[in-house]
Amino acid sequence: MLSPSVESQLHKLPWVCEEGAGTPIILQGHIDCGSLLGHRAVYRMCFATAAFFFLFTLFMICVRSSRDPRAAVQNGFWFFKFLILVGITVGAFYIPDGSFSNVWFYFGVVGSFLFILIQLVLLIDFAHSWNQRWLGKAEECDSRAWYAGLFFFTLLFYTLSIAAVTLLFIYYTQPGTCYEGKVFISLNLTLCFCVSTVAVLPKVQDAQPNSGLLQASVITLYTMFVTWLALSSVPDQKCNPHLLTRFSNETILAGPDGYETHWWDAPSIVGLIIFILCTLFIGLRSSDHRQVNSLMQTEECPSTLEVTQQRQVVECQGRAFDNEQDAVTYSYSFFHFCLVLASLHIMMTLTSWYRPGETRKMISTWTAVWVKICASWAGLLLYLWTLVAPLLLPNRDFS
């Protein structure tokens, strides 16, 4: 939708420049209608996917096993489901513009905030599992190579974090101004240092032997990434080199030809890659930890031997293998809800968190900055809770 060839076709739709080809849509007061067709189309595409998954979120509530008739819809009827998705998408493109984009922006802000937290939960779980397995390998093989590997990646992540902080100060702050950016970077750096210190305290190590600097380094690097995302939304050209404006004498024309869009920047590309990886995690992986499975509404997988025996029985009978006759292995409803949030997050990422404003403007706001910064703080607090919870609640099992 953001490609020039697609944007040139979007001009034919009824909600595009309905006030006349000469009426500009302005980004930060500089860019006209032709450059924002893809932006508005992304809003409608993601509205369609979010609406589709939200319908299934409601439809799949309380599906307990594959014996429920609704489970057949979850695992089949693909033609009809794609037909529904296409129908919603086509209908979304005929929604009158009006206040649609402005209202949908705030849905995107809330959904993206929640998805950033889900990404953090998955990263914490991934780092814990990684550290636990490599420590187990080191003990089984009696080899220091596994310890060296953990040390290498921990050092690498902290080095990348320090480099990120340095680059943020260079490119997103200026002497005598950009005080907000300086505070955000310094505060998050301090919080990451505190969290890393807590992770190696003797009492924390006694309560959680698998806790260590690898997890803290992953969280530190991710926090710096979210800080970068926040600073890339600061509505001040002096403090934000990614802010979209007109280039010197360049002219961007409205009309079916000659469209040019400048949405893709480094924060969007990196955010898209992390989004894809975390969405794959949601779709394909069950955690080794009961707490994460409880939060993500999944269950621990049965033993390999049990699954193999069941599979051999049904394969001999020439039938598909169904391991959800007694209970589903994940919450169908919560799975679709995660994809609702993913749709909203990708919408905000592709449009760089720009908000449709009055008089047909597209503006970068402090709302996007504060949402991302608060997400980074909430993530650090969440990780800190995973460290101190065994000390505060000694009677609970946090193994």
Q: Which residues contact 163 (CB under 8 A, 6 or more apart)?
A: none
CA-to-CA distance for 330 and 176, rounded, in angstroms? 53
Contacts of 316 (CB under 8 A, 6+ apart): none
Q: Is the pLDDT of residue 321 over 80?
A: no
The span from the CA of 289 to the CA of 122, in Å, is: 11
In whole angstroms, give the CA distance from residue 98 to residue 31. Answer: 19
Q: Tokens 């919603």 map to which residue? A: 88
Question: What pLDDT, on a 0 to 100 scale, did the predictor assign at position 287?
Answer: 46
On whether residue 250 sits in a domain, the answer given is no
- Would residue 178 count as lying in a domain? yes
d(CA 234, CA 251): 24
Structural domains of the chain, count: 1
Do the domain assignments include residue 333? yes
- Tens of pLDDT, residue by residue over 13-31, are 655 555 443 444 444 444 4
DSSP symbols for 186-224: HHHHHHHHHHHHHHT-HHHHHH-TT--HHHHHHHHHHHH
Range of the domain at 363: 33-243+265-290+327-392
Looking at the predicted structure, is the pLDDT value of residue 237 above 70? yes
- Segment 94-135, tens digit of pLDDT: 887 777 888 888 899 999 899 888 888 888 888 888 888 888
**pLDDT of 147-158, one tens digit each?**
888 899 999 999
The predicted model gives 306-311 an average pLDDT of 52
CB 149 within 8 A of CB 209: no
Please state the separation of Cα 26 from the chain's center in Å: 28
Q: What residues contact 48, with CB distance under 8 A and at least 6 apart? A: 85, 88, 89, 91, 92
Tokens 């909600």 map to which residue? 15
Residue 52 lies in a domain: yes
Which of 80, 121, 60 has its CA nearest to residue 328? 60
Q: How far apart are CA 167 and CA 68, in angstroms?
A: 54
Q: Which residue has the higher pLDDT, 298 or 218?
A: 218
For residue 24, the one-letter residue type is P
- Per-residue confidence (pLDDT) for residue 190, from 0 to 100: 94
What are the pLDDT digits (tens) for 339-363? 899 899 888 888 878 776 544 555 6
What's the predicted TM-score (pTM) here?
0.75
| 399: in domain | no
Tokens read off for 27: 């980004």
Tell me, yes or no, whether 376 lies in a domain. Answer: yes
Domain assignment present for residue 356? The answer is yes
Q: What is the pLDDT of residue 85?
A: 92
Residue listed under structure tokens 């807590």: 198
- Is pLDDT above 90 for 54? yes
pLDDT band at 163 (very low <50, low <70, confident <90, very high): very high
Tokens 């089984």 -> residue: 140
Handedness of CA 29, 30, 33, 36 (dihedral sign): negative
The answer to whether the beta carbons of residues 321 and 302 sit under 8 Å apart is: no
- Of 195, 260, 184, 259, the residue nearest 229 (C-alpha): 184
Closest CA to 42 of 72, 12, 84, 2: 2
Greater pLDDT, 396 or 315? 396
Residue 14 has what pLDDT?
A: 55
- Residue 146 in any domain: the answer is yes
Would you state the structure tokens that stand for residue 171, as one six-digit string? 């490119």
